[in-house]
Amino acid sequence: MLVPSLKVQDLIEEIRGAKTQAQEREVIQKECAHIRASFRDGDPLHRHRQLAKLLYVHMLGYPAHFGQMECLKLIASPRFTDKRVGYLGAMLLLDERQDAHLLITNSIKNDLSQGTQAVQGLALCTLSTMGSAEMCRDLATEVEKLLLQPSPYVRKKAVLTAVHMIRKVPELSTIFLPPCAQLLHERHHGILLGTITLIMELCERSPAALKHFRKVVPQLVQILRTLLTTGYSTEHSISGVSDPFLQVQILRLLRILGRNHEESSETMNDLLAQVLAVNILGRFLLNSDKNIRYVALTSLLRLVQSDHSAVQRHRPTVVECLQEPDTSLSRRALELSLALVNSSNVRAMTQELQGFLQSCPTDLRADCASGILLAAERYAPTKRWHIDTILRVLTTAGAHVRDDAVANLTQLIGGAQELHAYSVRRLYCALAEDISQQPLVQVAAWCIGEYGDLLLEGSCEEIEPLQVEEEEVLALLERVLQSHMSLPATRGYALTALMKLSTRLRGDNNRIRQVVSIYGSCLDVELQQRAVEYDTLFRKYDHMRAAILEKMPLVERGGPQVDEEAKESKEEARLLEAAPVPTEPQASKLLDLLDLLDGPSEDAQHPRPLDPSPGGALVHLLDLPCAPPPAAPIPNLKVFEREGLQLSLSFVRPPETPALLLITVTATNTSGGDVTHFICQAAVPKFPAAATGPQWGHSSSSGWPSDDPAPQNPQS
């Protein structure tokens, strides 16, 4: 008669005991035969056990379609055990592609209307998992009735089943829309959650529904507020946040409702500001979970623009995040840290960031270095600190700083007269240690050239006394010149520095003259030209040497100024790189340029041709090595003409970045004589996005939009 069948767990154990795939298949085939037999004429009491075994086998990947009918039988059985397994089977074995699935509709209907709560729950669960469109249509009214059932257990399931039904049959929205308003008054979190999900579905499918539900925004706001102000509840809280599942759903719905709708957004704003409560984000920052920390950092970064002080509160934690081994986290932390630097915390922050710079991964170095330099630029408490900071950055990550860092630093040092001695000593020491970091070498070379006399004088209060011999200095510069690590630009700096030293040092200049003449036949054209010119200075114009090579004048700091020495390399300098081109009539723009150059405004500096003297050569200040100006309608402009020196401007707008305007200043010497020691200084107005530092008093009528953020801040 009845062979005592295996218990489910025994079967599982037997299957797991099988040593090979073949063995397993054997066990299973044998068992399936039993199961089939028992389905046919087995004991109805144990039918559920047979189905459970079948379901296990099905999960292992074996066919189980012959169990479908059993599911139906079990669902129809009055026993709860049978129903439980039967419905589970239905969810696993039946889906809308099988014809058989419709057969359970009737059972479900009966269970929904007459079953106990638990049974109703089973039916609703199955319906929402595998209910097809036909089933949904048939059962919609039943589910609707259940929405009003007293038991929250059933109601919460009914609401989510409604969600599923609407997804399958959108027309059913009409049935499920009206109860929503009522359901929102529920206190049960599960029901609320389901209702909000339901409203979201309705709104996404119909603009009319969206409009209709806008009026519940205040209610949603209220619910959210209550959630926020409620204390910790063990039931619903995760990490101190009350019912995040519900909060997230409410926020999602608010987002949908508030989209492009002024009034709703207004109502939400106040609350959202609280929610954003950087406090919640702050707590996320402390979370040990990396994913959460990442999202917290990202959100804080977005916030820091609008609510700076609130985010400041979390500065210490953010700084800690810099130590993260995970690069995506440390990158975010870096961005956020840089955004958080202000005048009061600049020393501490820079310290932290410098530390980070030393150990950070290479892809972050450039950003970190630029960030530190920018922060130093904006908030430096003293010049000496500023110089120290830049120096440190150059030493640590010299290869990664941007090109204009060199120019900025030289200009900064030049402007700090009291710090010349200090700077030149520090730079000398740094250079002596390491001649590979190009920006550092360039600045050091320039400095040594300019202030070599201070270097040799030996005393400076701010630094330990340093005894430097002339020969050492020259040797160092020669090393730089000869090193294969030095870029052509660097060698240019070094050569010029050597030349300047010829007037600063007290010894004789034979060594320098030797070097200069050697380089007269250097393969590098730029170096060769310089060398030849310097050589000529020595030989024919020695009396002028001192005048020509005297210290450079201090530059007025009104904004980021590009200080170009006439014989500097031919690197392209974009004068007004940061100017976002306004869509104003071109004429006014040109006029403004003229104002800039000729007017009395503090930022304009006239190019000063010094005493023209024989010797020297045609000087091209700036050469744009790129294409000829495209068909841009801006004509060339002659802006200056005096004593044979002409200056003209030409405008080029590169096709790939139309927002950029490249202006070339061409100086032409039309006199019979020569022009030397030509200095052209250009002042670039600064367009601060976050207004700090020296301000330009530009009114918008000047044509320079003062509130547009510069696409490339020349400082960074």
Which residues in this chain contact other proteins in the complex, by CB under 8 A?
7-9, 12-13, 16, 48-49, 52, 55-56, 59-61, 79-81, 84-85, 88, 91-92, 95-97, 118, 121, 124-125, 128-130, 132, 153, 156-157, 160-161, 163-164, 189-190, 193-194, 197, 235-236, 238, 243-246, 248, 252, 290-292, 294-295, 326, 328
Closer by beta carbon to other proteins, 12 or else 76? 12
Closest approach of other proteins to the CB of residue 328, in Å: 8
Closer by beta carbon to other proteins, 121 or else 398? 121
Collect all residues with Cβ–Cβ distance below 8 Å to 30 and sequence separation of at least 6.
none
Q: Which of 390, 374, 399, 379 is nearest to 423 (CA)?
A: 390
Rounded distance, CA 418 to CA 584, Å? Answer: 45
Closest approach of other proteins to the CB of residue 193, in Å: 6
Closer by beta carbon to other proteins, 292 or else 374? 292
Closest approach of other proteins to the CB of residue 87, in Å: 9
Closest approach of other proteins to the CB of residue 248, in Å: 5
Closer by beta carbon to other proteins, 42 or else 194? 194
Closest approach of other proteins to the CB of residue 7, in Å: 4
Give per-residue burial for 325-344: e unless 16+ CB within 10 Å, then b.
eeeebbbbbbbbbbbbbbee
Closer by beta carbon to other proteins, 244 or else 615? 244
Burial of 561 (0-12, 13-18, 19+ CB in 10 A): buried
Q: Are 349 and 357 a contacting pair, CB within 8 Å?
A: no
Q: Say how many C-beta atoms besides its own lie within 10 A of residue 533's C-beta.
A: 18
Closest approach of other proteins to the CB of residue 376, in Å: 34
Closest approach of other proteins to the CB of residue 117, in Å: 9
Q: Are 579 and 706 a contacting pair, CB within 8 Å?
A: no
Question: What tokens appear for 105 in the block?
Answer: 């509709």
Q: Which of 280, 290, 273, 277 is nearest to 239 (CA)?
A: 280
Closest approach of other proteins to the CB of residue 164, in Å: 4
Q: Are 30 and 63 a contacting pair, CB within 8 Å?
A: no
Q: Are 55 and 64 a contacting pair, CB within 8 Å?
A: yes
Closer by beta carbon to other proteins, 247 or else 536? 247
Q: Which of 126, 192, 193, 117 is nearest to 164 (CA)?
A: 126
- CA atoms 649, 650, 653, 654: torsion sign: negative
Closest approach of other proteins to the CB of residue 96, in Å: 5
Closer by beta carbon to other proteins, 167 or else 551? 167
| CA angle 461–465–467, rounded 5-degree value | 140
Closer by beta carbon to other proteins, 128 or else 605? 128
Closer by beta carbon to other proteins, 289 or else 602? 289
Q: What is the three-class DSSP state of 7?
A: coil
